[in-house]
Amino acid sequence: MSISSFRRAYQVIKTTLHFGLDELLPTKLTPWYFRFLRRCLFWLTNQHKNSAGGERLKLAMQELGPVYIKFGQMLSTRRDLLTDEWAEELSMLQDRVPPFATSLARTAIEIELNAPIDSLFDDFDDTPLASASISQVHTATLKSNGKAVVLKVLRPDVEAKVHADLQLMSQVAELLDTLLGANNRLRPIEVIEDYRTTIEGELNLKLEALNGIKLRNNFLDSSTLYIPYMYEELCFTRLIVMERIDAISVSDMHGLQAQGTNLKLLAERGVELFFTQVFRDNFFHADMHPGNIFVSREHPDNPKYIGLDFGIMGTLTNEDKRYLAENFLAFFNRDYRRIAQLYIESGWVSPDTDITAFEQAVKVVCEPMFNKALNEISFGHVLLELFRTARRFDMVVQPQLVLLEKTLLYVEGLGRQLYPQLDLWQTAKPFLEGWIAEQVGPKALLKKTKEKLPYWADKLPELPELIYDNLKVGRNFVNSQNKLLDRYLKQQQKAHKSHFLLITAAVLILSGVMLFNQGVTAWISHTTITAGIVTWIVGWFSRPKSGKF
């Protein structure tokens, strides 16, 4: 452990104890040596005794800096692990941090470009447009085409800081996991590993740029979503150069209303976009907070979203998508048995789950939701409650499903903020039903056959040869089976013969010994014993050889 990581560890312990987070641990997690160590650090007292647990955790994370702030934000979406109250507190963590020196930003940009900024850009603005924990954004104009662009550059040393903090977090998670035991539902190691994947994805701006390009291509002709152009040749691990957009933040209700935006359509398009990304493209933006979603200033009556920040993207397997879509449909048909079956079929819960108990548990959480009007039901909430229930039946929630549930909650929140009467089900149902029909109906069969056609066209000329080879293999197989059977029968016969001789030998020897004991003429008993020994020798050597079959 280096001096700096030792210092960081002390800082984390100090903050944890100053906010009294140790007092929030259940007693079974505080063995005598833990309490002893706590007493040794007597000068670090709880200075927030009167605040609630969730608030103390939020404040501690705020003090520990960006990695913990982002961790808290991620944790706030794990409502399957936390209570609603704690999740609410953590969701209030703000990621805005003071900008770093422009000279450092300039140096970092020039190292990545391997050229002076002025050779490629005009009007580079030294005052950042935005500054967050991982990166900082500056505006400029591209010399080659005169287009307005933004440069997003990673903070200096951010990778080292993130990795050092992650290492410490992993160690604490391992300790917690040992203390909690195998059957704990908090799964600290799993939570930290999910976070590691997320944050490491955000540290690679080249990957983010490639995600942006892929999403842009998926919506190139769309009237619903626009993704800014990425200057791929100017994008590197620590720098992105992309088209600058001039749009209204989706959270700016006054701005949207002032330009006469059709808010109902905008809200519906948000839901549609989500389902299109998940089900059509299998590639969805999974960091949809208001700082990343804008609305174009053009055609407010036919509004178009603009998306930014592609560090966190989600994908699902085809099976997960199908089970998910069926899950929603089953929920709206109040078919709880089907939901329970789907969780088992998909492998989300173990096949030996008690399906009736699971169905009952699903019913208990879902049924009260129908006390609300249909347009008040939240898909994200349904999914969240189902995951919470499934967790009790040992479902290990996959990170991709959690990302999806979180995104869905965002999309719904956003939709209802834009247009409170938004009926999610009416917007999503035709989409889901259409998608399922495409997956399982005759159309799907035709589509899959069409997809396989080039493969079969390629394989067709090889078919006669393959059939001939297979028949030959088949014939050889039958021949070798017959030979094996023959050998087996011969072995069996030999074994029977040998057993018979050995038993006869035993009888002869025993009889010889008995005759000898009863004083019968010596030559008779000797002959019987000798015959027994000879029979035994013959029987022994006529045994089938082991391992020969």
Residues catalogued as catalytic: 287
Question: Helices 3-18 and 158-180 sit at what angle, rounded to 10 degrees?
Answer: 60
Q: How far apart are CA 412 and CA 424, in angstroms?
A: 8
The helix or strand, by DSSP H or E, that contains position 373, with its residue range, turns out to be: none
Residue 267 among known ligand-binding residues:
no
Q: Which residues bind ligand ATP (CB under 6 A)?
A: 95, 129-130, 132, 134-135, 137, 150, 152, 228, 242, 244-245, 291-292, 308-309, 311
Helix H, strand E, coil C: the string for 265-290 is HHHHHHHHHHHHHHHHHCCEECCCCH
- Please identify, using beta-carbon distances, which residue of 241 and 395 lies nearer to ligand ATP: 241
Q: Which is nearer to ligand ATP, 53 or 228 (CB)?
A: 228
**Smallest separation, CB 244 to ligand ATP (Å):** 4
Q: Is 17 marked within a binding site?
A: no
Query: Which residue reads 């929030």 in tokens?
Result: 24
Does 133 count as an annotated binding residue?
A: yes
Q: Is 132 annotated as a binding residue?
A: yes
Was 424 annotated as part of a binding site? Answer: no
On whether 129 is known to bind a ligand per the annotation, the reply is: yes
Contact 16/168 with Cβ under 8 angstroms? no
> Rounded to 10 degrees, what is the CA torsion of 259, 260, 264, 269?
-40
Report how many helices (DSSP H) and strands (DSSP E) the chain contains, helices first: 21, 11
Residue 75 beta carbon to ligand ATP: minimum distance, rounded to whole angstroms? 16
Minimum Å distance from CB 159 to ligand ATP?
14
The whole-angstrom separation of Cα 19 and Cα 47 is 6
Given the complex with ligand ATP, which of 109 and 422 has the nearer CB atom?
Answer: 109
Residue number with CB closer to ligand ATP (268 or 309): 309
Dist. CA 474–CA 485, nearest whole Å: 16
- Give per-residue burial for 173-185: e unless 16+ CB within 10 Å, then b: beebbebbeeeee
132 burial type by CB count under 10 A (0-12 exposed, 13-18 middle, 19+ buried)? buried
**Shortest distance, position 265 Cβ to ligand ATP, whole Å:** 24
Neighbour-count burial for 319-349, b at 16+ CB within 10 Å, e otherwise: ebbbbbbbbbbbbbeebbebbbbbbbebebb
Least gap, CB of 142 to ligand ATP (angstroms): 13
Nearer to ligand ATP by C-beta: 78 or 152? Answer: 152
Binding residues: 129-137, 152
Binding residues for ATP: 129-137, 152
